[in-house]
Amino acid sequence: MIHLHDLTVKRFREGLENKEFSAYEIVKALFDYIGLRDKEIDAYLTLNRDDALERAAKIDVAIAEGRDLPPLAGVPLAIKDNMLIEGLPATAGSKILEHYISAYDATVIKKLKAAGAIFLGKTNLDEFAMGSSTENSAFKVTKNPHDLTRVPGGSSGGSAAAVASHMAVAALGSDTGGSIREPAAFCGVVGLKPTYGAVSRYGLIAMASSLDQIGPFTKTVEDAAVIFKQIAGYDPNDATSAPDITYGDNLLNPSLEGIRELTIGVPEEYFVPGMDEEVANAVQSAVKEFESLKVRVKKISLPHTKHALSVYYIIMPAEVSTNLSRFDGIRYGDRAKAENLLDLYYRDRGLGFGSEPKRRIILGTFVLSAGYYDAYYAKAQKVRALIKKDFDEAFKEVDVILTPVAPTPAFKIGEKTDDPLQMYLSDICTITVNLAGLPGISIPVNGREGKLPIGFQLIGKPWHEADILGLGMFYERLGGKR
């Protein structure tokens, strides 16, 4: 049978069609491997073994009967534990939801089920997706498969580590300020954050609603395109979902002539002082490889970049403080013994939330409060408009923007846990993309076998995922990936 290391979404499909292996054999092998390897990685919070094996067996019966297979038939996926799968826990990495069982399927899950996918389990994350290292989980610390003393990145660290260590063929994560792209870069896999409004968030536990977006982790850019095409699309249950956008087959079949018509811009502001030299060099090597593909590259400027972190750490906590007000122990979750309703709120929220959600809820409450609203929240919204305008201007000259994903490779476990501001700086290259609602993809720099992975980011115009995926697919072919 095929080695799990070689298994991609595309290769899985070929293997099923050519009867090299059955879906059941692969899913069984994955659970056997998870049983060994996840003891040291700690990527999964819940396993969905019986249901996954049952679904795999049904796919094999459909193959034996010669029926048409749906596009993701039998593909074994890992899902970040802030998305709802009916009947399974959805903890969001928080004690406050430790015993919560999902009452319905998120729209992305419904779509993936319809496409034939199989869910191996739910993966670890920073509590309520707040963090850059997955160390803020209330349950465990996930390790980086490339070096067990280092973090996998976050907040979708469990999903990134599961794919990187071949404990899943692909996975879903969510990205509010870099929570898909940064862990993808740290773990050496591909991570796509789609355009705001491209993928429904119905059934995603909300963090910051003007920034959140769901996207895939995969071993190849080609696989990212395949999964993205299945989860994208209008959903009346998400009021921010775009009603009139459709993605065609150009997502999957880019041409070299097509990508040569694109111009890549490289913004000087993203090569920040204090950036790791190895990261800067690795990203420049990716630029050179695009030049060798005869794609035009030019220098650009995004002058308001330096304000993005401040804007993000006002707008995001403001939205967090409102979104997390629903966690009050009333309708679900664990309920403390309390004298009266007010006392119940204080206790449930005081005991249920960890440090990072508390810190952000209090900060958000402050920036939205009377007397401070204009100086902080309203000001941040205006600077956010300027950041978006920078991109609008740049996209008159170039089609795609190339930057680093994070200022350093994966850092050591415990290195930044005592200094929130240092931790927040890990997101400095990714948050602008969420603030402006753009698509961004993190792709591993070629030729780093045996070293810590480094990622580069391609940022596209809204709804132009095909551009960044197309460039990415040709880049990975240069690196020898199919």
Interaction between residue 414 and another protein (CB under 8 A): no
Residues 19-58 that bind another protein (CB under 8 A): none
Residues 419-438 that bind another protein (CB under 8 A): 420-421, 424, 437
Q: CB under 8 A: which stretch of 61-69, 162-170, 308-316, 464-472 binds another protein?
A: 308-316
Query: What contacts 277, CB < 8 A, 6 or more positions away?
Result: none
Contact 286, 442 (CB under 8 A): no
Contact 134, 117 (CB under 8 A): no
CA distance 85 to 269: 41
Contact 120, 47 (CB under 8 A): yes
Contact 80, 44 (CB under 8 A): no
Q: CB under 8 A: which stretch of 3-11, 58-66, 134-142, 240-248 binds another protein?
A: 240-248
Length of the chain as a residue count: 482
CA distance 302 to 291: 22
Interaction between residue 304 and another protein (CB under 8 A): yes
80 flagged as catalytic: yes
Q: Which is nearer to another protein, 148 or 385 (CB)?
A: 385
Q: CB under 8 A: which stretch of 133-141, 143-151, 279-287, 362-370 binds another protein?
A: 362-370
Sign of the Cα pseudo-torsion (199, 200, 203, 204, in order): positive
Residues 316-345 that bind another protein (CB under 8 A): 321, 325, 328-335, 338-345
Interaction between residue 246 and another protein (CB under 8 A): no
Nearest 10 degrees: CA dihedral of 232, 51, 183, 393? 0
Taking the complex as a whole, the smallest distance from the CB of residue 162 to another protein amounts, in Å, to 27
Q: Which is nearer to another protein, 58 or 335 (CB)?
A: 335
Residues 166-205 that bind another protein (CB under 8 A): 195-197
Interaction between residue 462 and another protein (CB under 8 A): yes
Interaction between residue 376 and another protein (CB under 8 A): yes
Interaction between residue 114 and another protein (CB under 8 A): no
179 flagged as catalytic: yes
Taking the complex as a whole, the smallest distance from the CB of residue 191 to another protein amounts, in Å, to 19
Interaction between residue 366 and another protein (CB under 8 A): yes
Interaction between residue 384 and another protein (CB under 8 A): yes
412 flagged as catalytic: no
CA distances in angstroms from 132 to 178, 219, 421, listed in the order given: 8, 21, 11
Query: What contacts 34, CB < 8 A, 6 or more positions away?
Result: 44, 47, 120, 121, 167
Interaction between residue 355 and another protein (CB under 8 A): yes
Check 132, 159, 179, 241 and give the catalytic one: 179
CA distance 412 to 429: 20
Taking the complex as a whole, the smallest distance from the CB of residue 357 to another protein amounts, in Å, to 9
Q: Which is nearer to another protein, 20 or 334 (CB)?
A: 334
Contact 81, 90 (CB under 8 A): yes
Residues 215-234 that bind another protein (CB under 8 A): none
Question: Which of 256, 268, 281, 346 contacts another protein by CB under 8 A?
Answer: 346
Check 94, 102, 137, 155 and give the catalytic one: 155
What residues are paired with 80 via a beta bridge? 123
Question: Which of 140, 358, 477, 481 contacts another protein by CB under 8 A?
Answer: 358
Query: Which residues are annotated as catalytic?
Result: 80, 155, 179
